[in-house]
Amino acid sequence: MLALIISFILILITSFIVIKPLIDKLYSVPNEPKYIHSYIPILGFALQFGANPIEFIKSLHSKYGKSFTISMTSRRFVYLNDEQTYLTKVLKSPDLSIDGFLEEIAVRGIGINRECLSNENIQKIIVKQFHQYLFGDELQLLNKKVYDYIIHTMKEDANKNQDKIVNLFDFFNEIMVYAGAAALYGETFANEQRNTKPSLYEAFITFEKAFALGITGLPFLSILFSSTIKKRSDFIDKFSSLKLNNGESNLIQSRAELFSSDAYKHIFTKHDVGCLQGSLLWAAVSNTAPMSCWAVIDLLLHPEAFEAVKQELNEINQDSSENRLPIYDKETLSKLKILDSCITETMRHTVQTSAQRQAINDTSIECLDGTIIGLRKNDIIIYPAFVKHFDPNLFGSNPYEYQYDRFVKKSNQKVPSVMLFGCGNRMCPGRLLAFGEIKLLVALIIQHMNIEFVSMDEKYRQECCKQLPYDYSKFISSGGPKKGHKDKFMIKYSYKNF
């Protein structure tokens, strides 16, 4: 029986290897980039990409040039390492859009009804809400709520006479989840969710795992990972019946009014409302929380950077004038140039940033050098900004190394450009909130905490200084440490200046 099963599997694999290229040619278009075949059904190059996307994509660009096509989880990805062509041609093409790509991620990742996302009027309203409530004075209100909640959490923790040895990632990730929840949904909601079963943080962690599985689009997910997929409802259900007029942000209030309006309420189920409201917290925290942790780690590993940021914060705090602004004020945050550079540098050498657009029909792009790139309908064309972020010509012979003042403007020296939040008119609308959250947490840690690693020897510290043990396997959100490395980031901490 076993021999029959093995024979059947071998026949399937052989058929896949022989037949797939033939079928693939039937749908080809002129001037397609080189297609690199994988002999792994469905997954394609997903495993190699997940292990280390930066080195994997860099190696393919080195071998095949600026453009090539690979398959991952049954999707075709066309990589184009040509920033100017992407910015001037791809983003402006009427035949390319990000909407379908994002819609598919949401449907697969959180299980929302597709009609909620495909309705053009609803999408226009949602985009307008983002620009109305994530900038200017509204952004400052959100920053203040984040600041207030972090300070409140620290003061409460400082009053507990307990040994304070924790995992850095677990500790600060949890703080960021609840601070983000307080800013968006109100402090009352955040406090209540600490005491539920599962807690908001526990449900958030499970939701992240389910989301990561869902977006792969692999067959039989609901069977193979039924427990994990089902548990994402533990997170979504917390947002399905939000109590309004309870300190929530204007963004959440306006979205709730949209979902319950006479014009659109027939489209949204209770589950859909939970998906849309809850996914905002995931979007706000899934990248900022781990990035905050890595930013703190980089500062702890590099004392000269830590002291530079500390001095910058001290200079702001020494301002005794009546016009002194709080740290969460946008003007104060904008003055923290060294801290800004430190965070940008951390994100540069960790986040696998890229820009994506999907072909809505067969089309082509003419590059600035005259090269024609043919695209099939549903091809996803990607500019891998992370390849640029590790270019030795821009960032030195070892671009994985940390240089804290790299992005501080100096006379007669050009600051290298990076792409951390996408590009074009669909650049991440929450980018200022996200960066502000990281700045606030890191600043408050430096001002009010003493931290030391308790399980990191000098050899491991030096290895981290050369290259952080970053987990690149997450396709959408930012990662923590690689498997087997998390315990190295146990910390002992205490509080000061309260």
* CATH value at residue 129: 1.10.630.10
Residues 234 and 142 in one domain: yes
Residues 75 and 123 in one domain: no
Is residue 382 a part of any domain in this protein? Answer: no
Is residue 275 a part of any domain in this protein? Answer: yes
Q: Output the six-digit token pair for 404.
A: 């804290």
Q: Percent of the chain scored above 70 by pLDDT?
A: 92
Cβ atoms of 452 and 296 within 8 Å: the answer is no
Q: Percent of the chain scored above 90 by pLDDT?
A: 72
Residues 18 and 58 in one domain: yes
pLDDT at 11 over 90: no
pLDDT digit string, tens, across residues 73-108: 889 999 999 999 999 999 999 999 999 999 999 999
CA distances from 130 to 127, 251, 255 (A): 5, 7, 10
Residue 310: domain span:
115-349+402-495
Please tell me the total count of domains within the chain: 2
Residues 107 and 239 in one domain: no
Query: Which residues on neighbouring strands pair with residue 410, listed in sequence order?
Result: 413
Residues 284 and 423 in one domain: yes
pLDDT at 246 over 60: yes
pLDDT of the residue at 9: 61
Binding-site residues for substrate sit at 108, 287
Residues 171 and 302 in one domain: yes
Residues 178 and 166 in one domain: yes
Which of 138-152, 177-191, 419-433 shows the lowest per-residue confidence on average (mean pLDDT)? 419-433
Is residue 282 a part of any domain in this protein? Answer: yes
Binding-site residues for heme sit at 428
pLDDT at 7 over 70: no
Most confident of 128-142, 206-220, 404-418: 128-142
What global pTM score does this model have?
A: 0.92
pLDDT at 457 over 70: yes
Residues 48 and 94 in one domain: yes
Binding-site residues sit at 108, 287, 428
Is residue 185 a part of any domain in this protein? Answer: yes
DSSP 134: S
Residues 129 and 91 in one domain: no
Q: Which residues contact 226 (CB under 8 A, 6 or more apart)?
A: none
Find the helix or strand (DSSP H, E) in which 228 lies.
helix 226-236
CA distances from 457 to 139, 171, 264, 463 (A): 41, 21, 58, 10
pLDDT digit string, tens, across residues 224-241: 777 888 889 999 999 998
Is residue 336 a part of any domain in this protein? Answer: yes
Is residue 394 a part of any domain in this protein? Answer: no
pLDDT of the residue at 412: 76
Mean pLDDT of the chain: 91
Residues 144 and 91 in one domain: no
Is residue 392 a part of any domain in this protein? Answer: no
Residues 22 and 84 in one domain: yes
Residues 33 and 126 in one domain: no
Q: Output the six-digit token pair for 470.
A: 């970053």
